Each structure stands twice: as C-alpha cells, then as structure tokens.
C-alpha cells in the first residue's frame, strides 16, 4: 500500500468515527443535561451553569417533588391500565382481522385492506376535530374506557405485521387441523395464535411505546386532570408557573423516560426488527 493510500484509508476511518461520535454526542447531550439538572438542589440550579455537575448524585428530592407535583403515581397507574387494555385489544383484534384477510378469499377482502391503508394516510391529529364530536355524543369523554376504545381504533401497523407473519405460516397447518375436525375458531385460537408469539412481541413493543407516549388524544379525551392523568399528560403540569423550574421538570422527564429505557435495553433486537416489519409499504 502506498503512503498516499494509507493516509486516505486512515483518514476515512477517522472521518467515520468522528461523525459517529459527534452524532452520538448530539443525541445524548439533551438528555445528559437533563440528568445533570435533575440532581441539583434549587439553590445549585439557580447559582450554577446548567452543564456544571451537581454536588451530589444522590439528591433525589427533585424526583420526589416532581412525582408528587405531577401526580405521577396516579399517572403511572392510569397509563398501566390503558396499556394493558389497549395492547390486549389491539393484539386480539388485529390478529383476528389479519387471519381472515390472509387465509380467506372473500368479496371485500381487498377493499378492507385498502380501507386500512388509506386510513393510515389520514393524519391522526387532524381527525380529532370530528372524532371529538363523536366521542362527545357517545359519552366517551372523561372516561378511561373511552380513551382505551379510541386508542384501540385502527391499527394498520399491527394488522400489517400480523398479515406478514401469517404469510410465513404454512396453510397446511390449518388444513390438517380442519381435517382433524377443528373449527376455524379452534384453528385460530389453539393453533395459529400461539405461533404468532414473535409478531405479538413486536406489536406489544411498537404499540406499547406509541400508547405510552401518546399525548394529544389523552389530553383531549381525559380532561379531568385530577383523576384521569396519564404519564404523557402529567408532564404537562410543568408548564405555566412551574415553567422555568427545570430541576423539577428534568426530574419529571427522567421519571417518564425510565420505562422506555428499560424496554429499550431489554428488547433492542425486537424493537429494531419490529420497526422494519411494521414499516407499511407505502
């Protein structure tokens, strides 16, 4: 190798690492600054530069304050209820729909697929103007179950993931079960559903993260913030008069990040794989 080529080669390697490290730094910086601030006492926060490290890493008073001020105990409880029902509902209904769309040819099969595809083009927030009216007329506003139902709504991503998964499950599986006298319900619940496990994990993670982080509809349909607060809406307590007490805000933000962080560390592979699988073909 000539020296010139060597320079070029190592230059490229350097450039590669430099850009990656820089990007990682930028990705981390906002959250790191939040961590630093969350451990500062109010005096420290007021008196020092934001990037100066706190005097103690064991000062959890901000977290306790934030937890209480934003009513996060209740928020986590409500979010958990919402998550359990929304996830159970959307996994069951999406996999059932995917089953019949994939296994049966019937008039309207293609139409239903297209209806779902088109629905995915409609931006969610824009629709809420009239969904609100419907929710209002059905008396679903200010009830956790109302929010759960609307969140279960249409889940094109889950349906697509399940359809793709069904495509890879051999039809001979269904056929032999039918031969043995199994009903279609039996085929689905006893034979196919247990095999869907990897797809279910994917949907759990993707839908779980988006439900946990969903703010707009939670804010709109759970208006009684003293009782029906969820994690995403609880954070909004920190606007207004508390808008510049960042030692509390950062602590609150970090508390809400913890579940996402745990899920991420446990299921990185599934998340990456799930995203790729859930990417609905445009």
Partner 1 sequence: MSAEKLMKWAKSRKGQRCFVILTFMAVPLTLLMLFTYIPFLEMFKFSFYNMKYTGTRTFVGQKNYMEVFSREDCFRSLLLAFYYIAASFVQLGLALYFASIFCFKLRGKEVFKGLLFFPYLVCGIAIGFVFKFFFTRGFVLDTVLGWIGIPLESLPYWLKDTRINNISLVFTSIWRYLGQNMVLFLGAMMSVDQTLYEAAAIDGANAWNKFRYIMLPSINSVIVLNMIMCISGSLSAFEPPYVITNGSFGTGTYFVIMNRIAHENQRVGLASAMAIVLMVLIFIVTIFQKVVMAKLFPSDESEESIRRRRLKREKQLRKGGTFA
Among 6, 7, 11, 24, binds partner 1 (CB under 8 A): 24
Q: How far apart (Å, rounded) are the C-alpha atoms in residues 122 and 111?
A: 17
Restricted to residues 177-206, the positions that interact with partner 1 (CB under 8 A) are 178, 183-185, 188
Q: Is 154 in the site for partner 1 (CB under 8 A)?
A: yes
Q: Is 162 in the site for partner 1 (CB under 8 A)?
A: no
By three-state DSSP, how is residue 117 classified? helix
Q: How far apart (Å, rounded) are the C-alpha atoms in residues 16 and 10?
A: 10
> CB of residue 125 vs partner 1: minimum separation in angstroms?
5
For residues 217 and 151, is the Cβ–Cβ distance under 8 A? yes
Q: How far apart (Å, rounded) are the C-alpha atoms in residues 222 and 191?
A: 39
Q: Is 55 in the site for partner 1 (CB under 8 A)?
A: no
CA angle centred on 199, ends 217 and 177, rounded to 5°: 125
Q: Is 231 in the site for partner 1 (CB under 8 A)?
A: yes
Which region among 53-61, 80-88, 130-138, 192-200 touches partner 1 (by CB under 8 A)? 130-138
Number of Cβ within 10 Å of residue 171's Cβ equals: 11
> CB of residue 215 vs partner 1: minimum separation in angstroms?
5
Among 67, 116, 162, 165, binds partner 1 (CB under 8 A): 116
Q: Is 223 in the site for partner 1 (CB under 8 A)?
A: no
Q: Is 235 in the site for partner 1 (CB under 8 A)?
A: yes
Match 């095999």 to its residue by tokens: 195
Number of residues that bind partner 1 (CB under 8 A): 92
DSSP assignment, residue 169? S
For residues 181 and 198, is the Cβ–Cβ distance under 8 A? no
Q: Is 165 in the site for partner 1 (CB under 8 A)?
A: no
Q: Is 22 in the site for partner 1 (CB under 8 A)?
A: no
Q: Is 51 in the site for partner 1 (CB under 8 A)?
A: yes
For residues 94 and 159, is the Cβ–Cβ distance under 8 A? yes
Which region among 22-30, 61-69, 70-78, 192-200 touches partner 1 (by CB under 8 A)? 22-30
Nearer to partner 1, 58 or 106 (CB): 106
- Is 21 buried (19+), middle (13-18) or exposed (0-12) by CB count in 10 A? exposed
Which region among 18-26, 39-47, 63-71, 194-202 touches partner 1 (by CB under 8 A)? 18-26
SS3 content of the chain, % helix, strand, coil (to 5): 75, 0, 25
Q: Is 4 in the site for partner 1 (CB under 8 A)?
A: no
Among 74, 80, 81, 112, binds partner 1 (CB under 8 A): 112
Phi, psi of 41 (to 5 degrees): -75, 160
The site string for partner 1 over 75-104 (x = CB under 8 A, - otherwise) reads ------------------xx-xx-xx---x
> CB of residue 190 vs partner 1: minimum separation in angstroms?
14
Closest among 164, 206, 162 to 188, alpha carbons compared: 162
> CB of residue 19 vs partner 1: minimum separation in angstroms?
8
In angstroms, what CA-CA distances link 133 with 137, 233, 250? 6, 21, 36
């Amino acid at each position: 190798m000539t020296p010139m080529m060597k320079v070029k080669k190592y230059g490229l390697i350097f450039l590669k690492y430099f850009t990656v490290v820089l990007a990682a730094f930028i990705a981390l910086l906002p959250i790191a600054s939040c961590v630093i601030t969350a451990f500062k006492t109010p005096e420290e926060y007021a008196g020092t530069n934001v990037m100066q490290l706190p005097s103690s890493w064991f000062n959890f008073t901000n977290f306790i304050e934030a937890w209480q001020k934003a009513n996060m105990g209740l928020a986590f409880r409500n979010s958990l209820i919402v998550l359990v029902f929304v996830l159970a509902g959307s996994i069951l209904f999406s996999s059932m729909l995917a089953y019949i769309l994939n296994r049966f040819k019937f008039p309207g099969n293609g139409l239903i697929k297209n209806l779902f595809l088109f629905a995915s083009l409609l931006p969610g927030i824009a629709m809420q103007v009239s969904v609100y009216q419907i929710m209002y007329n059905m008396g679903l506003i200010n009830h956790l179950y109302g929010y759960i139902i609307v969140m279960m709504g249409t889940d094109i991503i889950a349906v697509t993931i399940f359809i793709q998964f069904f495509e890879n499950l051999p039809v001979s599986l269904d056929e032999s079960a039918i031969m043995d006298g199994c009903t279609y319900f039996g085929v689905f619940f006893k034979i196919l559903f247990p095999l869907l496990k990897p797809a279910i994990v994917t949907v759990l993670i993707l839908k779980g993260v988006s439900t946990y982080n969903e703010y707009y509809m939670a804010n709109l349909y759970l208006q009684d913030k003293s009782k029906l607060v969820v994690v995403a809406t609880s954070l909004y307590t920190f606007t207004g008069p508390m808008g510049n007490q960042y030692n509390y805000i950062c602590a609150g933000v970090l508390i809400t990040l913890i579940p996402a962080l745990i899920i991420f560390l446990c299921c990185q592979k599934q998340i990456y794989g799930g995203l790729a699988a859930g990417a609905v073909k445009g």
